[in-house]
């Protein structure tokens, strides 16, 4: 770096008024050999982005740069893009925002103009090496999505990962992205969650995915996808051999849309992760999803949380476990599952490959918890068990404690928070840990036993014997 360039850098950093530790990280880019740099939530704003852009011009090693939630707008992103046209190493550029970002961190907002600047990195002839771009929650809207899509269409063998979640994109904006997908040979991950595609936009996207042979992961969560959108996706599911993860959480599939998807999944062997949580699915929809869960299915992770499948739906899902299903992670939380449903899940555990089971926020009570606890004794795979919020009392707590005492227990994580377990059950749980060599985390928050002196003494003794064990009860 020349003297003039160094003086320019000093001036930019002075104008940015960054905290000392952030300024040090920006300066380190000038001579660093690190492959990645995380400057997320650093309050850079445009002034800091200008200084960072100057540093990037002289960096020849950085591969991954995280600038999420920094208050960067068009001026800042334009400077970064100009610098990246002369950078031959950076591959991952994260300019999105955390949807759950704390209020004291400013959000990036590059808008359609910022999307236009980013698009120059994607066009044919660009010398940029960036192939992973995150622009989530940046208000690029339909105009920005169209610009990005048009650039991708010009250079179909470049971009691999793209996140445009939370950008107010409708069926109009997704048209250009769909055209790009039809000719793309490179893109493997596409996130369009938290937009406004609706059935029309989803159908447009589904039509493009029928010809695309590269997309492996797609997120369409919270897009008001209903039966028509689900029906459009069925052709994709029947014919794809590349799609492995599909997220349709927080839509409006209901039983009708879920039945359509279930029928298509009977012909599919590639999808390994399916998220259908928060879709107003009832027992009939759960039964439809259960049908393809045979030995030929590749499905390993299934999320049906926050629906209303009840005992009947839960029974139909777990009935497949004894028939060679490959499901290892199952989320049935908040589904109005009662004692009978809990017992049916328990019966299936011994014959399953389940490693993670979430039954939180149901109503399995002591009877269901006791059945589950008994089943864990013969399970050879279960590692994570969540039974929080199930009205479980001392009887259920003692049954779980008894199962943890067994030397054959494989459990490493148990969450029994927000139940009705009192001191007797709480002490039994702590005592069980003395004979257990597998447990790493026990969550007991929101029960009645955490405030007793006897429990406090027993907890101190447990921590003395197992200093690495995490027991949380407050």
Instruction: Answer with the residue of higher pLDDT: 110 or 474.
Output: 110
Pull the structure tokens for residue 421.
């377990």
pTM above 0.85, yes or no: yes
pLDDT computed for residue 407 by the predictor: 59
Q: Tell me what the mean pLDDT of segment 202-220 comes to.
A: 96
Pairing of strands 132-134, 161-163: parallel
The sign one gets for the Cα dihedral 400, 404, 407, 411 is: positive
Q: Tell me what the mean pLDDT of segment 386-410 comes to.
A: 91
Q: Tell me what the mean pLDDT of segment 151-177 comes to.
A: 95
Mean of the per-residue pLDDT values for the chain?
90
Q: Is the pLDDT of residue 34 over 90?
A: no
CB burial class (10 A; 0-12, 13-18, 19+) of residue 375?
A: buried
- Per-residue HEC secondary structure of 99-121 comes to CCCCCCCCCCCCHHHHHHHHHCC
Q: Which of 137-151, 236-250, 323-337, 397-411 shows the lowest mean pLDDT across its residues?
A: 397-411
- Per-residue HEC secondary structure of 373-419 comes to HHHHCCCCCCCEEECCCCCCCHHHHHHHHHHHHCCCCCCCEEECCCC
The tens digit of pLDDT for each residue in 5-14 reads: 565 656 666 6
Q: Is the pLDDT of residue 198 over 60?
A: yes
The sign one gets for the Cα dihedral 320, 322, 324, 325 is: positive
Q: Which of 140, 67, 136, 142 lies closest to 100 in space, CA to CA?
A: 136
Confidence of residue 33 (pLDDT cuts 50, 70, 90): low
Q: Is the pLDDT of residue 309 over 80?
A: yes
Contact (Cβ atoms closer than 8 angstroms) between residue 165 and residue 137:
yes
The tens digit of pLDDT for each residue in 340-384 reads: 999 999 999 888 899 999 999 999 999 999 999 999 988 889 999
């Amino acid at each position: 770096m020349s003297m003039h360039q160094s003086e320019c850098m000093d001036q930019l950093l002075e104008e940015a008024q960054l905290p000392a530790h952030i300024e040090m990280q920006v300066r380190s880019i000038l001579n660093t050999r690190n492959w990645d740099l995380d400057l997320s939530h650093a309050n850079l704003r445009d002034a800091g982005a200008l200084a960072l852009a100057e540093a990037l011009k002289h960096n020849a090693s950085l591969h991954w740069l995280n600038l999420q939630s920094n208050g960067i707008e068009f001026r800042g992103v334009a400077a970064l893009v100009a610098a990246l046209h002369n950078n031959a190493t950076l591959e991952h550029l994260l300019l999105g925002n955390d949807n759950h970002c704390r209020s004291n961190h400013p959000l990036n907002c590059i808008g359609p103009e910022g999307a236009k600047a980013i698009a120059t990195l994607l066009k044919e002839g660009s010398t940029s090496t960036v192939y992973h771009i995150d622009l989530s929650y940046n208000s690029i809207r339909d105009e920005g999505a169209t610009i990005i899509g048009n650039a991708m269409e010009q250079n179909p063998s470049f971009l691999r990962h793209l996140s445009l979640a939370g950008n107010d994109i409708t069926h109009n904006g997704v048209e250009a992205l769909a055209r790009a997908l039809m000719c793309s040979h490179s893109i493997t991950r596409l996130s369009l969650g938290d937009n406004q595609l609706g059935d029309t936009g989803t159908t447009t996207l589904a039509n493009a995915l029928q010809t695309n042979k590269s997309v492996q992961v797609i997120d369409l969560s919270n897009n008001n996808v209903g039966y028509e959108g689900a029906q459009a996706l069925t052709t994709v599911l029947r014919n794809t051999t590349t799609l492995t993860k599909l997220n349709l959480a927080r839509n409006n599939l209901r039983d009708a849309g879920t039945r359509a998807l279930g029928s298509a999944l009977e012909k599919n062997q590639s999808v390994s992760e399916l998220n259908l949580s928060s879709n107003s699915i009832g027992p009939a929809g759960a039964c439809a999803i259960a049908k393809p869960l045979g030995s030929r299915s590749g499905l390993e992770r299934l999320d049906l949380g926050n629906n209303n499948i009840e005992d009947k739906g839960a029974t139909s899902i777990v009935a497949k476990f004894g028939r060679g299903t490959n499901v290892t992670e199952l989320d049935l939380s908040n589904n109005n599952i009662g004692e009978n449903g809990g017992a049916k899940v328990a019966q299936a555990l011994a014959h399953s490959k389940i490693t993670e089971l979430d039954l939180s926020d149901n109503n399995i009570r002591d009877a269901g918890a006791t059945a589950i606890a008994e089943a864990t004794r013969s399970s050879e795979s279960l590692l994570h068990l969540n039974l929080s919020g199930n009205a479980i009392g001392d009887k259920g707590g003692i049954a779980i404690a008894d199962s943890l005492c067994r030397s054959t227990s494989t459990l490493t994580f148990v969450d029994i928070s927000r139940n009705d377990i009192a001191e007797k059950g709480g002490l039994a749980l702590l005592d069980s840990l003395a004979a257990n060599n597998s447990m790493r985390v026990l969550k007991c928050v929101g029960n009645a036993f955490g405030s007793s002196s006897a429990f406090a003494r027993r907890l101190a003794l447990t921590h003395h014997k197992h200093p690495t064990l995490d027991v949380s009860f407050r």
